[in-house]
Amino acid sequence: MIEIQGLSARELHIDRFVAQPDEAWCIIGANFSGLTQLCDVITGEQVDFRAELLRLPTDLGVCSFKRQQEIFEAEIRKDNTDFLDRIDPGTPARDFLTHAEDYRELIDLLAMGDALDRGYRQLSSGQSRKLCLLQQITRGVSCLVLENPYEGLDQPSCLELDRILPQLWQQGLGILVFVNNTGDIPHWCTHLAAMHDGTIALQGPAETMLPAVKMLLTQQPGRFLVSVEELRKERLTADNDTTSPNLLTLNKGFARYGEVEVFNNLDLSVNRGDHTLITGPNGCGKSTLLQIITGDHPLCYTNDLYLFGRRRGSGESVWDVKKRMGIVSPDLHRNHRISGSALAVVVSGLFNSIGLYVRPTEGQQQLGRKWLQRLTLADKAGTAFRQLSYGEQRLILLARALIKVPTLLILDEPTQGLDEPNRVALLDILEQIAAEELCTILYVSHRQDEYRSFFTQHVQFT
């Protein structure tokens, strides 16, 4: 199925790797282990390498964050909203599939039956991920490469995926899975490899490799070297109006796309210190709710919504609203399509913009560099954001959200693409931020291992 010998690229050196057709492989690695580079070589995303031998399937299917981004950007280029009297919903999801009628059972198992009649831009991030997977499978490929396939999926979908993939493998579909977290290693994989420092440090049958792999991965350090004492000092220079304890009130909130109702009759109140966990299945409206709150959805003006003591739509601009927010979301990540360095993206959090359109002061640039140092990414300051790995990009966006120590920190699945040590380190610093009352946190997650005790209220969609 796959054979690699003597492969050398920047930060990547593989002596030998062979995946036979009757083997289901999982390759795991931390964010800076070389895992992304190896995945890019196999999927054809990276071409700057040398190899004594590289044998790959000719009809390879790929489901990755990069492929999802390619679909998203293609949809943006086809957006006809300016010529319509409504928001263009995008290409019907059904049109991405080949012979969808032959895969009805698979589509239903992934709870995508109703979603196929929606436009691509009406799908949640989890639904778009499932659509990417279905697109590749329905093409009839002989081998499937999956990068973090469980990221962004609700628990029932993860369980169904763990039923579907081994069945497809037993029917002859080659499968190669790349993951960052030991908890995401599929139980059905027959073989396991672990990346470390740009090499395959361990590989072999899964049952014999698993203990050593877990030990290797859990020994990796997280990159959040952040002191709450420093954040407290930086918060003193930020805009933190404390006159109103209420940060957010939504009365009988609703959301819909055309005639399709997403949620209705939702009451939500968030006061200072009401750190709120938001959970629910893919497509139930969690991300839409946050977009309404942040002003990135047109229904923010038709809902009965109060932010920082002021009714939404009473004359304030979106910039007035966002100056007291720090945001990380799949939607924000997708929309960072512009050119710009890692440092520029971090500093842009002070201006609430995607990209920098004013020259930052020396002090603002120094603060941005300090955040890169806190994430041990100082050497990436001048690197183009889009040239970073997905995990590195997510760390940069987290720094962008935290740089101004905002009143309201809105995090929609912020740990997507992060390895286990970085996920734990992020949640640890959020717990300290909550304890010190530096920010009030709204947090969307599908992962039950992220449900920390500092969340004081839980909004559960059905």
Q: What is the tens place of the pLDDT at every residue in 112-125? A: 999 999 999 889 88
Same-domain pairing of 185 and 232: no
Q: Which long-range contacts (CB under 8 A, 24 or more apart) does 352-360 make?
A: 352/319, 352/322, 352/323, 352/325
Is the pLDDT at 410 greater than 70? The verdict is: yes
Whether residue 308 lies inside any domain: the answer is no
Q: Can you give the residue range of the structural domain that contains 68?
A: 2-218
Quote the number of domains for the chain.
Answer: 2
CB half-sphere exposure, 251, CA atoms < 13 A? 5
pLDDT tens-digit series, residues 353-395: 998 888 999 999 999 999 999 999 999 999 999 999 999 999 9
H/E element, 228: helix 228-235
One domain, residues 208 and 322: no
Task: For the sheet with 408-412, list strands across it.
Answer: 325-328, 408-412, 440-444, 276-279, 457-460
Which pLDDT score, from 0 to 100, does residue 87 have? 75
Instruction: Annotate 15-76 with DSSP letters as a single string.
Output: EEEEE-TT--EEEE--TTTTHHHHHHHHHTS---EE-SEEE--SSEEEESHHHHHHHHHHHH
Q: Are residues 237 and 195 in the same domain?
A: no
pLDDT band at 240, cuts 50/70/90? low
Distances (CA, A) of 120 to 73, 90, 261, 325, 329: 11, 5, 16, 28, 18
**If DSSP codes are grouped into helix, strand and coil, which group holds residue 99?**
coil
What mean pLDDT, rounded, does the chain reach?
92
Indicate whether 437 pLDDT > 80: yes
Amino acid identity at 383:
T
Instruction: Locate 88 and state its tokens.
Output: 């263009």
Q: What is the pLDDT of residue 151?
A: 93
Q: Are residues 323 and 213 in the same domain?
A: no
Q: Report the pLDDT value the prediction gives residue 10, as an integer from 0 to 100.
A: 86
**Is the same domain home to 335 and 190?**
no
> 241-264, pLDDT tens digit by residue?
556 789 999 999 999 887 788 999
CATH number at residue 201: 3.40.50.300
pLDDT of 80 higher than 90: no
Q: How far from 79 is each of 131, 378, 451, CA to CA, in Å?
A: 19, 37, 37
**Does a structural domain hold residue 340?**
yes
- 113 lies in the same domain as 92: yes
- Cα–Cα dist 253/257, whole Å: 14
Q: Is pLDDT above 90 for 81?
A: no
Q: Cβ atoms within 10 A of the Cβ of 245, count?
A: 10
